[in-house]
């Protein structure tokens, strides 16, 4: 598609909406440049120790209009300037996805513009490209979030394949469940990261999975932490409080080495020209430095998104939508949400 078929000579202007889980987000992208990325993170779930789907969809319903409004204002555009509306089709919570999808359908009808459906996992995997322009394919992206752990082989912007995934818990879940055992609030990943800074990562050793191929497993680690804490707490009821920083650092170190071992194994079989990380857990300071160290050791460029593009955000949805727009890949009004992972 050439620039003449867009409303503005500035190139395609796309409004994107992300509502797959507990963040209500809207972004405006103009000719591949992000002009706004508004994220409302729902805090209502903290009291429940996890995301409550019914509450999430109700909150999205309340927040979607002000969030979109702010995205439009910050990008300094009018609704009439928009060439297409993008939204997250899945995977995610059905009620949450439906809020974004129905909003996108209504606005697309009202403005008489096409819609672009975006796979949330594909958007995470490509989020490193929002800020880095000079990327040579193929690259591997390790997408690590609260719901997913994937090793994605990216051949070009819209051509990618999942080569490894978790067979049980996701990396973020491993962080959150370990944090819960340590008595930390949900989501515990950022707290473990913070406390780890004062701890010894080699103080305690936890079991690592032995899984063939490129898949991950974190359920064994969870059990290993649980039994260890139960045993030590019987001997000293203050064991957790007295060793909190060392426990956090050791757990974080184990999760990172599980992640990095598989990445290394995959890259030795499928050589790449770059390594990226994405998803909420890519905000982890230990993982970020492990990937940087690995990149220098292997002499491979490393792409790490800034924090606002690590966790769920609409900019990453807008970014994929830009490439789909250029290829005329639109969807119709009958589109439905997809709850489970679907092919990238
Ligand atoms: O991508 P995300 O915002 O939501 C989805 O799951 O899709 O990821 C949230 C996950 C949570 O499990 C949270 O604990 C984890 O990312 N997380 C972290 C850090 N920041 C967020 N885990 C470890 N260290 C962090 N700094
Ligand atoms: Zn996500």
pLDDT tens string, the chain, 344 residues long: the values are 555 489 888 889 999 999 998 899 999 999 999 999 999 988 888 888 788 898 999 999 999 999 999 999 999 999 999 999 999 999 999 999 999 999 999 999 999 999 999 999 999 999 988 998 888 999 999 999 988 899 999 999 999 999 999 999 999 999 999 999 999 998 899 999 999 999 999 999 999 998 999 999 999 999 999 999 999 999 999 999 999 999 999 999 999 999 999 999 999 999 999 999 999 999 999 999 999 999 999 999 999 999 999 999 999 999 999 999 999 999 999 999 998 888 87
Task: State the Cα–Cα distance between residues 235 and 247, nearest whole angstrom.
Answer: 16
Residue 18 beta carbon below 6 angstroms from any ligand 1 atom = no
Using the atom order of ligand 1, give the atom closest to the CA of residue 120.
7
**Can you give the pTM of this predicted structure?**
0.92
CA of 185 to the centre of ligand 1 (A): 13
Ligand 1, atom 22: nearest CA belongs to which residue? Answer: 189
Tell me the two tokens of residue 219: 């359920």
Beta carbons of 316 and 282 less than 8 angstroms apart: no
Please, what is the end-to-end C-alpha distance for the chain in angstroms?
A: 23
Look at the block and give the residue holding tokens 């209500």: 24
Whole-number pLDDT of residue 41:
87
Ligand 2 centroid from CA 9, angstroms: 33
Angle at 224 between CA 222 and CA 229, to 5 degrees: 95
Number of the ligand 1 atom closest to the C-alpha atom of 312: 3
Considering every ligand atom, which ligand is closest to the CA of 310?
1
Looking at ligand 1, which residue's alpha carbon is closest to its atom 24? 284
Specify the length of the chain in residues: 344
Q: Whose CA is nearest to atom 20 of ligand 1?
A: 190
Q: Give CB contacts under 8 A, 24+ apart, made by 29-35.
A: 29/315, 29/318, 29/319, 29/321, 29/322, 30/75, 30/77, 31/322, 32/319, 32/322, 34/130, 34/315, 34/318, 34/319, 35/74, 35/75, 35/76, 35/77
167 alpha carbon – ligand 2 mean position (Å): 18
Cis peptide leading into 186, omega within 30 of 0? no
Would the CB of 305 count as within 6 Å of ligand 1?
A: no
pLDDT at 30: 97
- In angstroms, the CA 20 to CA 17 distance is 9
């Amino acid at each position: 598609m050439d620039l003449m078929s867009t409303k503005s000579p500035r190139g395609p202007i796309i409004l994107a909406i992300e509502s797959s889980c507990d963040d209500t987000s809207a972004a405006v992208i103009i000719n591949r440049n992000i002009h706004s990325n508004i994220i409302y993170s729902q805090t209502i779930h903290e009291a429940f120790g996890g995301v409550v789907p019914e509450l999430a969809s109700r909150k999205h319903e309340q927040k979607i209009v002000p969030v979109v409004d702010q995205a439009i204002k910050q990008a300094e555009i009018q609704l009439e300037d928009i060439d297409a509306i993008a939204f997250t089709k899945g995977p995610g919570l059905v009620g949450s996805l439906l809020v974004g999808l129905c909003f996108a359908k209504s606005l697309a009808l009202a403005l008489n513009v096409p819609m672009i459906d975006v796979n949330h996992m594909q958007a995470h995997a490509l989020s490193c490209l929002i800020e880095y322009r000079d990327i040579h394919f193929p690259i591997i992206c390790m997408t690590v979030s609260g719901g997913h752990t994937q090793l994605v082989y990216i051949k070009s912007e819209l051509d990618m394949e999942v080569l490894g995934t978790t067979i049980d818990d996701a990396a973020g879940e491993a962080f959150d469940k370990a944090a819960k055992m340590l008595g930390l609030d949900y989501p515990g990943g950022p707290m473990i990261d913070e406390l780890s800074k004062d701890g010894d990562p080699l103080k305690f050793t936890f079991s690592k999975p032995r899984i063939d191929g490129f898949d991950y497993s974190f359920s064994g680690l969870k059990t290993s932490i649980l039994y260890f804490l139960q045993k030590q707490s019987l001997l000293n009821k203050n064991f957790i409080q007295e060793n909190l920083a060392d426990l956090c650092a050791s757990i974080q170190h184990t999760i990172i080495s599980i992640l990095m071992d598989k990445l290394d194994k995959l890259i030795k079989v499928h050589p790449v020209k770059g390594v990226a990380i994405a998803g909420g857990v890519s905000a982890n300071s230990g993982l970020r430095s492990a990937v940087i160290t690995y990149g220098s050791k292997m002499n491979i460029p490393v792409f790490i998104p800034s924090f606002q593009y690590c966790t769920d955000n609409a900019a990453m949805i807008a970014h994929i939508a830009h490439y789909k727009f250029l290829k005329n890949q639109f969807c119709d009004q009958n589109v439905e949400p997809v709850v489970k992972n679907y092919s990238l």
